[in-house]
Amino acid sequence: MALTFRTYSEIPGALRARLVDAWVDATNAGGAVGFVAPVRREAVDAKAFQGFNAGLDLLLVGSEAPDGDPVAFLVVADHRFALKDHVRILKTVVVHPKHQGKGYGVELMREAERVARTLDGVELLHLTCRGGLGLERFYAKCGYTEVGRIPRMLRVAADDYRDEVHMALSL
């Protein structure tokens, strides 16, 4: 089954609540999406979409049916820096754990690329991911190239540091 996608320049409150729930579920299932399991809904809710800027950023949401529950989402964010006006960064790439293994992650990334190509002057997509989980292989399968790595940039536990991996896709 293919996903139906919709973009939002503002995040409606009811949708935001459903996305936070999916974010919590993904984190607690072991997903590397900005938090470390176990995480409570209140912790995610307090920081969810904190940097989202209506009018500059886009929320991309995939559902199995039009107006259905979100099963995958990400944010296509403006860098907010004049020398990077031609670049968008993908943030918070989430596929709900009960829908993983269906190819929805690849569909989400392809749709993000399609959306980015419609944005005036955008030539490059950038993302970061947590090292040590094989996420680089997933993003490489989607056409992204590793362009840098910052060792021990992310601390997921007192004695567990991970690399932050930077990846890019030319449009």
- pLDDT confidence of 1, banded at 50, 70, 90? confident
**Structure pTM?**
0.96
> What SS3 state is found at 60?
strand
The secondary structure of the chain in percent helix, strand, coil, rounded to multiples of 5, reads 30, 35, 35
Instruction: Write the pLDDT tens digit of every residue in 75-121.
Output: 999 999 999 999 999 999 999 999 999 999 999 999 999 999 999 99
pLDDT of residue 62: 98
Structural tokens at position 167:
């990846």
Whose structure tokens read 């990077």?
84
From CA 46, how far away is CA 27, in angstroms rounded?
15
- CA dist 74 and 59 (Å) reads 6
Burial 96-107 (b: 16+ CB within 10 A, else e): beebeebebbeb
pLDDT tens string 42-58: 999 999 999 999 999 99
Confirm if 27 and 80 have CB atoms less than 8 A apart.
no
Residue 67 has pLDDT above 90, yes or no: no
94 alpha-carbon distance from chain centroid: 6
All structural domains of the chain: 4-170 (3.40.630.30)
Q: Which residue has the tokens 């820096």?
A: 81
Measured CA to CA, the distance from residue 130 to residue 34 in angstroms comes to 9
